[in-house]
Structure 1
Amino acid sequence: MILSSTQIAFLQRLAIEKPAERGHSAVAEFFLVHCGIGSRKGRGFVYTEKSHQEAISLLIANGLPLTPLPAGSSRSDAIGLPSEKTGTKAPHDDSVAIKVASGACLLGGHPLPRPEQGIYSVLTVAQATAVTADRLLLVENVETFRTLEKYRWLDYQGLNVVAILLGDNLFKADRVDAVIRARAEPVWAFFDFDPNGLGRACSLPRLDRILLPASGWLDATTKRAKRSDLFADQINQWRSTIERSNNAEISAAWRLLSRLEKGLPQEWMIDAP
């Protein structure tokens, strides 16, 4: 019998935790119908010692461990299981995307690709924590992160700056947060000019700067872009967070944003002077 990761985990819970009852689920239904494990009770299922032993026997018969792999196991740890994905973390689970925004940043004494090369690296949290830098620059969106060297208006103040992608469907924000909190450098934020961008900047530890184009250009360009949706769709969620901030740059950006009632994605800032 070929079992999915979800089905294996269900049997392992029956074998280890020995629950007397479980709520309704497709996997519980499957094992009742196809293997006779458990019995119905209302909308859920009940399990006896016989049910628990049947779960153990089914795992053994399929050459499966009675206990799950330890949390954080890699796919190489799943040798002998039905799939390399069984009970293991996703390949990018411990990954952070970084690139050198300015100057020279080292990992293990070796320089990372220079900014003009337009290359980014995918590192583990531990590796990203070890990269040398004067400042950490958080970048919100993938396209901007990839083409950061084209944003000529960004002023890095002659410092060694490592840029970190804030997170998307592949690279997770909680891993980025782990890197930031394990380090001590001041943090810069380059986010969308909208309530979400300012609100997320408010939550960053050691926030030192928010990077936005000159206010005159930002004012005029945001008006022309007419992205009132970026303001209207986000303002209720973020207003109180932003207004509680005592960061002078966030307060100044908020005054402009709330007056315009429109936002501007960072991708549209690429040609700012």
Structure 2
Amino acid sequence: MNLTPIELRFLQRLLADRRDRPHSASAERFYVDRKIGTPIGRKFVYSQEDVERVRSLLEALRLPLAASDQLIDRADAVLRPGISEKSGTVNPHANTVAFKVFAGGSPTTRPGYQVASVEEVAGLTPDLVMVVENFETLRQLERYQWVIDRLTSVKTALTIFKGDNIYRLDDAQNCISLFDCPVWGFHDFDPAGLHMSLSIRNIEEHLVPPQGLLAAAVVAQKRSDLYFNQYNQYAGALDLCDHPQIAALWSLMKRWQKGLPQEWMRDLSLTTTNTSQDSSTT
């Protein structure tokens, strides 16, 4: 019997609470195919015998009895002939992080990025870990010349993507927490970005371009929305910040009342400083 993920969750919930269920495609299928449940009016009613049938079915199919149970890899689902490899198996992106490794400012990994398990990445021995907020930035990191200039003095730097709905945030956080070396936070220059860096254990600095480049770009791009939209949520914690470098950046941000997306820092160069630093900070 082949179960869809929706049907599997239906059975798991039924096993957990044995509540009556409204008519649905899943309820109808298990009533017709397995005599699970009794239709009464607009709902299906389930007895203890029905619940035992559900348990026996899941055990026979080698599927987890609860959504929180340990899932198997899709490759291991070959041990369940006739059952979809997507039912009761781990998301193929689970427990993985996207990363790049630099040695003296030069990438040692293939172009773009690499993906490996948390355990495999944690087995590396970098001198520095840099957390990168946006996936596009991780892929194009070599084009951020001012970042590469900073990394040239680092023997081995591991750059890790912060995470999203594909490479999970908690997997990246777990991986980062396993290193005892200094950490740089490379996030957006906005209240949320500063707060992300502040929350990292072993944070050494929130990475930003040289102040002249940063000041000119922040003023030129006029992204006051990044500042005001996030101020109420993060200002309280940042006002109490005791990290000297992040506190100094917060003071600058409050003075400018503007932010700057990480992606817009890619092509900054000395030509960006046509506007003087003195005039840009007013």
Q: TM-score, normalised by structure 2?
A: 0.80
Find the counterpart in structure 1 of residue 90 from structure 2: 89
Map residues 144-159 of structure 1 onto 2, 5 A cutoff: 144-154=137-147, 155-156=150-151, 157-159=153-155
- Match of residue 200, structure 1, among 196, 199, 205: 196
Stretch of structure 1 that moved more, 86-95 or 24-33: 24-33
Find the counterpart in structure 2 of residue 108 from structure 1: none
Query: C-alpha displacement at 1:226, in angstroms?
Result: 1.3
Query: C-alpha displacement at 1:102, in angstroms?
Result: 3.4
The one-character-per-residue Cα deviations of 1:183-238 (angstroms, maximum 9, x if unpaired) are 21111111110111111111100001111012222122111111122122222222
Aligned residue for 2:146, secondary structure, equals: coil
Matches of 1:119 and 1:221, distance apart in 2: 26
Query: C-alpha displacement at 1:140, in angstroms?
Result: 0.7
Find the counterpart in structure 2 of residue 258 from structure 1: 254
Maintained 8 Å contact 2:31/2:37: no
Find the counterpart in structure 2 of residue 110 from structure 1: none
- Match of residue 240, structure 1, among 231, 236, 240: 236
What's the Cα RMSD here? 3.1
Aligned residue for 1:21, secondary structure, equals: coil
Matches of 1:34 and 1:136, distance apart in 2: 56
- Match of residue 140, structure 1, among 133, 138, 142: 133
Matches of 1:74 and 1:146, distance apart in 2: 28
| One-letter amino acid matched to 2:97 | V
**Pair 1:180 & 2:181 matched:** no
Find the counterpart in structure 1 of residue 108 from structure 2: 114
Map residues 35-114 of structure 1 onto 2, 5 A cutoff: 37-38=36-37, 46-56=45-55, 64-65=61-62, 67-68=64-65, 71-79=70-78, 80-103=81-104, 114=108
Find the counterpart in structure 2 of residue 169 from structure 1: 165
Unaligned runs of 5+ in 2: 270-282
The one-character-per-residue Cα deviations of 1:26-59 (angstroms, maximum 9, x if unpaired) are 5665458756643589998652123224435765
Query: C-alpha displacement at 1:100, in angstroms?
Result: 1.5
Q: TM-score, normalised by structure 1?
A: 0.82
**Pair 1:267 & 2:267 matched:** no
| One-letter amino acid matched to 1:83 | S
| One-letter amino acid matched to 2:253 | L
Maintained 8 Å contact 2:185/2:196: no
Maintained 8 Å contact 1:103/1:158: yes
Identity among equivalent positions (%) equals 36
Aligned residue for 1:234, secondary structure, equals: helix
| One-letter amino acid matched to 2:8 | I
